[in-house]
Amino acid sequence: MTLLTVALLVTLAGTARAAPGKEVKGIDISGIDVTDHLEKLSESRYPKEENQANRDSVRDYIADRMQYYGLHVEQQKFNTTVNKDEKGITSEQIQVEGTNVIGIQRAVTKSPGGVIVVGADYDSNGVSDPMFRNGAGLAALLEVARLYTVNEAWSGRYAANYTTVFVAFDINTKLHQASPGQPGGHFFIREWLWPFIDHNVTFFGGAVILDSIMNVNYNDNSQTLSNEFQNLFPEMQTRVEEGGNKGDFLAMVSMGNKDDTVKLRDQFSGNYNKARKAERFRLEDMQLRNGMAFDTIVQQFVKSENIHFWTFKDENEKTVLLPAILLTDTATFRTDPASTCASVPCRPKDLLTEDRIEFVDKTVEATVHFLFSRQATLLPEQPSAASSLQSSFLTVAMVCLARLYM
């Protein structure tokens, strides 16, 4: 190899390293604490009379926290129809009112790809454990909102360039056994987000949906895959099988290959995989396409709020694909967390194992880094108050010295 080629290769390698966007420096994420939120999320939040007091108190808790973090909070009410019986055995239907709680960190909104949404359901579906679905997603959402605002608005080291919206969705009817009404995410996109981005997809950067993100399991055969899996995700099937069919990954599910979707998932996975410690879990990139076999695992993915972004119809009934990624532990495709519990019935503190907390914390960390790399800019180092005081003392001293010698 000639010297010239070597030099060229070195230069190219240098460029490649420098390329991946802004560095995320100076963010303090050492104090992630999801357990504090999770302890308040162990009771049912299915929309029925006897859960109303708990539903109200969780809604108020979310709004209080968001306000405290410095977000502008709005509550979006909507009416929908649910099955009165959460097990879906009887079919009496009732109309209920739901409330999406929205926290806005406002900066520039009308810029290409400007607005990012981070969202999670805060109700529970009457079947899954309320801490797993979707207490964990909500706890992560609140921690992401807290760490983003603490490091951005309060530290003074970052400036938010673009608007970020944190939303806790109420009443995901798609996850109920048999509720006919539209879920909170549908109303959020149609009636809140679309007007907020001026009816123009250009201003939307994408959504990150956190749905069922705590159930990591390192036991062999704790993960099942669907019948069509081999055809849909062959490489992933091989990885999971060779690893002993463990439930040791977080799935990042996206739809299609439009530029904004590709950018969204590359930025998220880049931030997830950056600064990897010796973690036992990993991120699996699961890309859906239109016309894919309608498999049982795909059927599950489209019950989460991401589906309303992927299938949004504007006022002219034209479909507009709003980019969104779903983060999920694959929920029912992984061993039920309650079955691994030491006590019967399972106590909340037995469910919050170190492994599970660590798994959620990683998602929080990656999402915070993702937001900083995309929505904010690190400001140049400012001289601190103490050092500028020192330098003014020095100036005074110099002036005095100068006087003495004149």
Ligand X SMILES: *[C@@H]1O[C@H](CO)[C@@H](O)[C@H](O)[C@H]1NC(C)=O
Binding residues for ligand X, rule: CB under 6 A, are: 77-79, 97, 159, 161, 200, 202, 377
Q: Which is nearer to ligand X, 155 or 238 (CB)?
A: 155
Q: Which is nearer to ligand X, 201 or 338 (CB)?
A: 201
- Minimum Å gap between C-beta 203 and ligand X is 7
Quick one: tokens of 226? 């669907």
- Minimum Å gap between C-beta 152 and ligand X is 11
- Minimum Å gap between C-beta 14 and ligand X is 24
Q: Please identify the residue of the shown chain whose CB is closest to the bound ligand X.
A: 159
- Minimum Å gap between C-beta 97 and ligand X is 5
Q: Which is nearer to ligand X, 202 or 231 (CB)?
A: 202
Quick one: tokens of 357? 């907390």
Q: Which is nearer to ligand X, 161 or 227 (CB)?
A: 161
Q: Is 141 helix (H, G, I), strand (E, B) or coil?
A: helix
- Minimum Å gap between C-beta 59 and ligand X is 14
Spacing of C-alpha 159 from chain mean position:
21
For residue 269, report the phi and psi dihedrals to the nearest 5 degrees.
Answer: -65, -35
Distances, alpha carbon 68 to alpha carbons 71, 94, 146, 201, in Å: 7, 35, 9, 31
- Minimum Å gap between C-beta 110 and ligand X is 7
Q: Is 188 helix (H, G, I), strand (E, B) or coil?
A: helix
Q: Which is nearer to ligand X, 173 or 223 (CB)?
A: 173
In 3D space, the residue among 357, 347, 367, 350 whose CA is nearest the CA of residue 264 turns out to be 367
- Minimum Å gap between C-beta 195 and ligand X is 13
Q: Which is nearer to ligand X, 113 or 135 (CB)?
A: 113
Contact 213, 137 (CB under 8 A): yes
Cis status of the peptide bond prior to 345, with omega within 30 of 0: yes
Rounded Cα distance between 376 and 370, Å, is: 10
> DSSP readout, 352-390?
--HHHHHHHHHHHHHHHHHHHHHHEEEPPPPPPHHHHHH
- Minimum Å gap between C-beta 373 and ligand X is 12
Q: Which is nearer to ligand X, 192 or 341 (CB)?
A: 192
Rounded Cα distance between 44 and 129, Å, is: 8
Quick one: tokens of 257? 């290959």
Distances, alpha carbon 138 to alpha carbons 37, 61, 64, 375, in Å: 8, 11, 14, 21
- Minimum Å gap between C-beta 158 and ligand X is 9
Q: Which is nearer to ligand X, 377 or 388 (CB)?
A: 377
Quick one: tokens of 84? 């009165």
Contact 84, 123 (CB under 8 A): no
- Minimum Å gap between C-beta 142 and ligand X is 25
Rounded Cα distance between 87 and 299, Å, is: 19
Q: Which is nearer to ligand X, 96 or 307 (CB)?
A: 96
Q: Which is nearer to ligand X, 78 or 166 (CB)?
A: 78
Distances, alpha carbon 172 to alpha carbons 1, 115, 124, 369, in Å: 61, 23, 8, 28
